Amino acid sequence: MSIYTRIAVKIGSNVLTRSDGTLDITRMSALVDQIALLHKRGKEIVLVSSGAVASGRSEIRVEKKLDSVAARQLYSAVGQAKLINRYYELFREHGITCGQVLTTKENFASRTHYLNQKRCMEVMLENKVIPIVNENDTVSVTELMFTDNDELSGLIAAMMKMDALIILSNVDGIYNGNPADPASSVIPEIGCKDDPAGYVQATRSAFGRGGMLTKCSIAQKVAGEGIAVIIANGKREHILPSLLEDGAETVVCTRFRPASRPVSQVKKWIAHSEGFAKGEVHINAGAVEALRGDKAVSILPVGVTHIEGDFEKDDIVRIIDDKGSQIGVGCTAYDSREAATLTGRHDKKPIIHYDYLYLD
């Protein structure tokens, strides 16, 4: 049996929907059976499921043409209700309770929201309830959106200290060429630092937002945090148990080797929150050298040359070296006004403590 106990499973829209865009209940039911089996074997599963927009689209005939944001809001509002209702009934047949967690990118930007979400899912798992997570597509529109649910599943896997993240798509894994070309094959293993851009196809799937290249780079990022990532075909029979049972090495899929030195939870959150950075802390060459050394060092006011942007205490900021390049991100102990008054001064507590610092 597998060494993984806590597993995040991400199911893409393309796995759950038929070619006409309607929800594929047979597929959903087969996947629920598999998750139920793993649950009964003592695995803690968090399911990240797409399919809200796709399943809502087939429910409604709109009278007048909607813009893309309104359409997404309408379809997801209806589709998410339909999706979770299906899951609820399907899991209930196995005597398992599931619950819905809807989230937005903003919930990962604030540490309080982040911890609230985490605690919610922890209490669900403790009580043997399977969390079913999706983006709250009704409110997260345009620039507030996750790239796709692959990104969301990576954040959830990091947040919940998952042992593994299994991304189910409608292909067998990452191909070394165009999947339609018989000469190309699935790459069995990819390292966190490999550069896949040369051989991964950039085309997007029909109903989901993610493409293979983004899938691959998200998988590498998550593996870099010490979590095993597997991309496999959700349409294959018994795929989930077979990925975790003896003989799993013969299953066609792409596995991402997890990094051996995983980073702390706080650092994971900070690394993932980079997109929310509110300002910049510019540091001098001496501070850069200290950070690059073997010891764990914090960024002290004395090593800071100047502050840019307008931020509050506990916000995420970029760390910029003396050449103007970003070298990491961190969570600040001061707001931008106070930080600016402290630059260059000795005997002050760190602007960014080591525990809240993530170097690229």
Interacting residue ranges for ligand GLU, rule: CB under 6 A: 13, 50-54, 76, 134-135, 137, 148-149, 208-210
Q: CA–CA separation, 307 vs 330, rounded Å?
A: 13
Q: Output the smallest distance, CB 138 to ligand GLU, in A.
A: 10
Q: Output the smallest distance, CB 149 to ligand GLU, in A.
A: 3
Nearer to ligand GLU, 170 or 343 (CB): 170
Q: Output the smallest distance, CB 32 to ligand GLU, in A.
A: 17
Q: Output the smallest distance, CB 256 to ligand GLU, in A.
A: 18
- Selection from 217, 357, 185, 225 nearest residue 281 by Cα: 357
Q: Output the smallest distance, CB 147 to ligand GLU, in A.
A: 8
Nearer to ligand GLU, 51 or 258 (CB): 51
Nearer to ligand GLU, 167 or 329 (CB): 167
Joined together, the tokens standing for residue 9 give: 């499973």
- Selection from 280, 310, 315, 296 nearest residue 353 by Cα: 296
Nearer to ligand GLU, 210 or 224 (CB): 210
Q: Output the smallest distance, CB 182 to ligand GLU, in A.
A: 28
CA 332 vs CA 132, 312, 325, 329, 357: distances in Å: 33, 8, 19, 10, 9
Nearer to ligand GLU, 34 or 80 (CB): 80
Number of CB atoms found within 10 A of residue 22's CB:
14
Q: Output the smallest distance, CB 179 to ligand GLU, in A.
A: 18
Taking each helix axis from N to C end, the angle separating 111-126 and 149-159, rounded to the nearest 10 degrees, works out to 80
Nearer to ligand GLU, 39 or 72 (CB): 72
How are the residues of the chain apportioned to helix, strand and coil, as percentages rounded to the nearest 5?
40, 20, 40
- Selection from 254, 266, 265 nearest residue 228 by Cα: 254
Q: Output the smallest distance, CB 205 to ligand GLU, in A.
A: 8
Taking each helix axis from N to C end, the angle separating 149-159 and 265-272, rounded to the nearest 10 degrees, works out to 160
Nearer to ligand GLU, 154 or 226 (CB): 154
Nearer to ligand GLU, 201 or 205 (CB): 205
> Alpha-carbon torsion 221, 226, 227, 232, what sign?
positive
Residue written as token pair 């979590």: 227
Side by side, which strands form the sheet with 316-320?
Answer: 304-309, 279-283, 316-320, 326-331, 357-359
Nearer to ligand GLU, 105 or 209 (CB): 209
Q: Output the smallest distance, CB 12 to ligand GLU, in A.
A: 6
Mention every residue, 6+ apart, whose C-beta is less than 8 A from residue 201.
175, 177, 178, 179, 212, 213
Beta bridge partners of 359: 328
